[in-house]
Amino acid sequence: MGRIVGIDLGTTNSVIGVLEAGRPFVIANAEGSRTTPSVIGYNKDSELLVGQQARRQLVLNPKNTFSNLKRFVGRTWQELDENSLNVAYTVRANDQECVRVICPVTEREYAPEELIGSIIRKLIDDAEKYLGESIDSAVITVPAYFNDSQRQATRDSALLAGIRVERILNEPTAAALAYGFDKSSSSRVLVFDLGGGTFDISLLQISNGVFDVKATSGDTQLGGNDFDQKIVDWLANEFYNEHKIDLRRDRQSLQRLSEAAEKAKQELSGLQTTPISLPFIATGSNGPLHIEAKLDRKKFEYLCTDLIDRLSIPVENVLRDSGWSAEDINDVVLVGGSTRMPMVQQFIRTIVPITPSQSVNPDEVVAVGAAVQAGIISGELRDLLLNDVTPLSLGLETVGGLMKVLIPRNTPIPVRQADVFSTSEANQSSVEINVWQGERQLANDNKSLGKFKLSGIPPAPRGVPQVQVAFDIDANGLLQVSATDRTTGRKQSVSINGGSNLNENEVAKLIKDARDKADIDRKKRASIDQRNNALTLVAQAERKLRDVSLEFGPYGAERQQRAVEVALRDVQEFLDNDDLVELDMAVSSLQEALFGLNRRISAEKRTDNNPIQGIKNTFGSLKDELFSDDYWDDDPWDYSQNDNGRYNRRELDRRELDRRELDRRELDRWDNDFYN
């Protein structure tokens, strides 16, 4: 069985952690960074780019580079707000009103889950290289306020990446696990999680290794990107007022504005004023146009007043649901890079009059907590217990379109709850079970998770049949619904996944395509890496030959130099012919030749204490080689006379004859210089 890792699948950045020797830690990616940008793209050759490589082409190739995908996961087109759709790439709805991302260079559309699966796959690949072993399972975190559809969609993403999800864990809960992992004291903790695209807040009771979630709330359409958008709108409006050009209509200009806004937001966390410079942002009638502006913290906070007000609503809800007051809270844990903004920290102090804890890294704490949960599942950690809650109320639609709540929000999970219902019409032979999630009184105002029918009910007057409907929520917050006719015992159950962007057949097809493409991509990457390694070795060999010739002369290590030159020619020939099989053998020969040359040079340096000794070593090596039997094995003269009385000559390459003639002349010159 492979290792279980913890993954923080973020809107802006993603992180992977693992438990090693009883301690959780974050694994750096292949580029050496501990966070991986949640960006996927395709270059002009339709090659998949993930992470930092994809982020580099955001400005130059915005149509084929996709970020902020987490806001689209498990959501229908009608559920998206205007800010979510304000991206540089094309997003549309398909026939089932599911979100699809359009990629012009590959000429196809992608489900958000498919693209996010590529991010998960990169995280897993980087972790496997670091650990040196396979990974087949993961604990993946999601915002606490993700509904069932979004959780199912996250599971689909992992499935497409070839990973089994052991647990779907709420992000604030994961942060609390990381914070209280090595603390034995009892405390009441508020976890304030403001990430790039979502906002969550949770209250937990931590005592002797038991993590008891009391209440959770949040907003899945509020995050750091919304603060960035305020700066983008401010810059774009100012530019429009001056030049009558809307930069938001141009994809590249919009992406440049977004990057400048993010940088300005980050700088205003430590500075009172920051300059914003965007040269050649557009072209007017008189030539290129530029943006040169200054944004101060006071102006930024004024622009974001409505966003701060939106933060207060979930905070009030979670305090009311838990029954705690602000004075009951002992610690505040900040999660997410957006909590570094001074106005956010000041807002938290107005709610809870204590200084937030600085003992955890806001960017990594969720992944660390997920790694702790992975350790609990694998059995490495036995003294910790996590009790989580369901984020939203669950119920079904009754007569008149009302929603009957079976499981209220913030109910501890796993949980099973059942209730008995009846028919609304006489002689009704079937009932339709329509499952909803949300806090509104009318069913249509909430999120529909799916529906199914229970048939075969015996004819009876209205209200006589008894149908028991049971809701089961597992530890991942995923729902299963069953309905049983008490008269006949007929039962119908279903795992609710109606809100997922992908049906079962689509998931199976995408998994097959991913496996096929993985083999092709792996072979292609292997050949590219093989060529790149060969080119690197060629450059090293050429540089080594040049350095040896300059330091020791052409005969300091002639035999070894010649071996390197021959192997070098072979490698270059196979590179030109694209013969990868022979190239592998030639590269090995070149490596051996370079090793021999390095050994000879090391020996020369150990004995080369003065110039005279160096000359003697060089001359002695040349003399030994020229007068050795091996050197004259290919002598073109066999010194036997033919019928005409002339000596026979073997056919040899003219360049070899010229080289040996030069060797003889050089020997004579050295002989005269040395002994005279």
Phi–psi pair at 41, nearest 5 degrees: -155, 170
Active site residue 638: no
Nearest to 71 by CA among 108, 31, 99, 29: 99
Of the listed 70, 230, 265, 447, which one is catalytic? 70
CB 110 within 8 A of CB 100: yes
Name the helix (H) or strand (E) containing 473. Answer: strand 467-473
The number of residues making up the chain comes to 676
Query: Per residue in 525-553, is it b (16+ CB within 10 Å) or e — as a string?
Result: eeeeeeeeebeebbeebeebbeebeeebe
Of the listed 126, 171, 558, 608, which one is catalytic? 171
581 to 255, 523, 563: CA distances (angstroms): 44, 13, 21
362 to 367, 575, 605: CA distances (angstroms): 10, 48, 53
Active site residue 193: yes
| Gyration radius of the chain's alpha carbons | 35
Active site residue 630: no
Of the listed 8, 262, 301, 397, which one is catalytic? 8
Neighbours of 566 (CB within 10 A): 12
Active site residue 242: no
Question: Which residue, chain included where needed, has tokens 């010649």?
Answer: 562
CB 167 within 8 A of CB 373: yes
485 to 228, 492, 496: CA distances (angstroms): 54, 9, 20
Alpha helical stretches, state H, 462-579: 504-552, 558-577
Of the listed 126, 148, 156, 193, which one is catalytic? 193
* SS3 label, residue 629: coil
CA atoms within 13 A on the CB side of 142: 30
Residue numbers annotated as active site: 8, 70, 171, 193
